[in-house]
Amino acid sequence: MSIRGGASVAQLQSELHRVPVLWSLYRPLLRLAPSHELAQHIQRAFRRTLPLRNLLKIQHKLIEGYSMLDDFDRIHAGDSILADKYATLSSHLARTRPAPTPPARRPPKPPVLTSGILFSTPYNPPLPRLKPQPEHISMLIFARRKAIQRRWDRFAVAQERAADAREENAFEARLGVQEGPWGLDWQELISESKKSFDMEAKRNAVSPR
């Protein structure tokens, strides 16, 4: 459709204008574009022209588009000068291509209180069941589990060292030599660990009403 013939904005928005431009300009440009960067540039350029309502500006954009389509035809026909020109433009577009916009992150859903109960374990007291369970509660339980595991590991080492000390004391008694007693510090650590385990169990138990 010729704009010089007095086309109106309503005509430019109609199928009589959109379909010929789509099939005779837009799609051929994408099909003949020498590079992926140029094809993306053409897509962005056409999207930017969609809101245009000024007839002279639309005419200018159409002239530019058909001129580029002629260039692409000449490149496919073997025009090396135009090929070099658009190769340089493609390199420039590749360097200045806008970074993709990351999708907007959905806000987390607020936890909903359910009728269930998160039963007490060695790592947590009884808690109301929330869905989804808040991350900070999960991390708190995980941190306490690691801390308790470290205490159990130290308790096991203390028991092993205390057993060695008892054997050493018995051996010295048989020889009639008494340099000990050995292992008092390990026995003290074992006693403190047991108190800590008892306190943890009481804290996590259900309190009587």
For residue 144, the model assigns a pLDDT of: 86
CB-CB contact of 183 with 164 (8 Å): yes
For residue 208, the model assigns a pLDDT of: 44
For residue 72, the model assigns a pLDDT of: 92
For residue 207, the model assigns a pLDDT of: 47
User: For residue 120, what are its two tokens?
Assistant: 């007490």
Q: With CA atoms as reference, report the closest residue to 59 among 112, 136, 4.
A: 4
- DSSP string of 10-76, one letter each residue: HHHTSHHHHHHHIIIIIHHHHHH-SSHHHHHHHHHHHHHHTT---HHHHHHHHHHHHHHHHHHHHHH
For residue 209, the model assigns a pLDDT of: 40
pLDDT per residue, tens digit, the chain (209 aa), is 444 444 555 555 555 556 777 778 888 988 899 888 888 889 888 888 877 777 788 888 888 888 999 999 999 899 999 889 999 988 888 887 666 677 888 887 888 988 888 887 877 888 888 888 888 888 988 898 898 888 888 889 888 888 888 888 888 788 877 776 777 888 888 888 888 888 877 776 654 44
